[in-house]
Amino acid sequence: MRRTSTQEAPGYLLTFEGGEGGGKGTQIEGLVAHLQSLGYAVTQTREPGGTRIGDAVRRILLDPNHRGMDFRAEVLLYEASRAQLLREVIHPALAQGHVVVCDRFSDSTTVYQGYARGIDLEVINQLNTIATGGLRPDCTVLLDLDPVIGLQRIQKRARLDRLEGEALAFHERVRHGYRTLAAEDTERFLVIDASQPPDHIQTALRTAVVTRLCHVGLMPPGPGPDPRRPRRARPEHIRRP
């Protein structure tokens, strides 16, 4: 049985969310490889960024020299990157029936600019709707972690970006925001305790995601072609097994 959500396209939008140091990148890489090995056509992307224009916006947003950025400028830049990503990557991939795995989406704006910065949540909802045209993820994985642990993990990095350098209280509000959203929409959110060992998380994630895909009628298509066989080049953001 296919889902009856607002989306008409045959694909599936899976987003990843969470605060700093939760291991999103590692978990996404492992899950994408697994889904591809099962024969799913997967498009992997991220926010902010994922397009040439979006990557340029990302550099502006995360530059630690831009500490004086106005909150309204910040939120509009995130939405600008999102609108471009939908047009260039997400809509075309969903139309082709891909599983789109996106590292962050509109929930990040609700949480970082809404809950953490304090911009009115109704305004954020309106801006999100303008950028997404109302498209909502089919499933959102929340890697939930105490920010004290998350920030300890990222302190080892040589240079922190503009948002990573925010005070602990900011990151506490981020966590509270995510947990609130997840509690309000238990059907969409898959909350995972990110303090567990990464391989435990990956095992649970694979099972939960494939179960959800099957639930909407997207059964594993079967192993993909032999990876050693030469294939026609595809645009970088469109990955198929």
Residues that bind ligand ATM (CB under 6 A): 20, 47-48, 78, 104, 108-109, 112-113, 163-164
Q: How far is the CB of 35 from ligand ATM (least distance, A)?
A: 20
For ligand ATM, the closer of residues 78 and 178 by Cβ is 78
Q: How far is the CB of 168 from ligand ATM (least distance, A)?
A: 12
| Position closest to ligand ATM via CB | 112
Q: How far is the CB of 59 from ligand ATM (least distance, A)?
A: 11
The secondary element (H helix, E strand) that includes residue 134 is none
- What are the angstrom distances between the C-alpha of 168 and each of 61, 120, 161, 172, 207? 20, 21, 15, 6, 33
For ligand ATM, the closer of residues 174 and 218 by Cβ is 174
For ligand ATM, the closer of residues 36 and 113 by Cβ is 113
Q: How far is the CB of 1 from ligand ATM (least distance, A)?
A: 32
Rounded distance, CA 197 to CA 171, Å? 22
List the alpha helices (DSSP H) in the chain. Answer: 24-37, 52-62, 71-85, 91-95, 106-108, 121-132, 147-154, 168-184, 198-215
Q: Determine phi and psi for 43, rounding to 5 degrees.
A: -115, 120
For ligand ATM, the closer of residues 98 and 171 by Cβ is 171
Q: How far is the CB of 48 from ligand ATM (least distance, A)?
A: 5
Q: Is 6 in a helix, a strand, or coil?
A: coil
